[in-house]
Amino acid sequence: GGLSGVLGGNPSSSNNNAYQSSQVTRTNGDKASQEQVSFVSKVFASTEDYWTKQFKDKGLTYNKPTLVLYSGATQTACGTGQASAGPFYCPGDQKLYLDISFYDELSTKYGAKGDFAMAYVIAHEVGHHIQNEIGTMEDYASA
């Protein structure tokens, strides 16, 4: 179910590598299921495709961020990232950080069930990367 039809077809099909991103990394101890990793990878890859085209159409090069899946805490160029802070973007290393437990928290704590909410969160964090790419991140940070 979910957004799989939009993001690469039937998840049970043999061609499940559509929209597979090379920019998703996992830290030791992350507790993501293969289904969760596959979904967030496809969503993330679709943002890469979209923004690569948008930048190219303007004669620019899109520097793709990396999505890091972790559990509990992880070191970043912005300091220690913790699950309690929720998903975040670090401009210092151009990485989006996502503790996969947030997947469940969206449903239990915020009442946002289903894949769309997680896709929205990923797109939102990619938006911060876009702000960083075009030089408006400082405007956001000071607001």
Domain ranges of the chain: 24-133
Q: What is the DSSP letter of 84?
A: G
The tokens of 122 are what?
């990923």
Q: What is the pLDDT of residues 7-43, one digit of tens each?
A: 333 333 333 333 344 566 656 555 667 888 889 999 9
At 126 the pLDDT is 97
Q: What is the pLDDT of residues 86-139, one digit of tens each?
A: 899 999 999 999 988 888 888 888 888 888 999 999 999 999 999 999 998 776
Residue the block writes with tokens 């990878």: 41
Q: What is the pLDDT of residues 54-70, one digit of tens each?
A: 999 999 999 999 999 88
Neighbours of 96 (CB within 10 A): 25
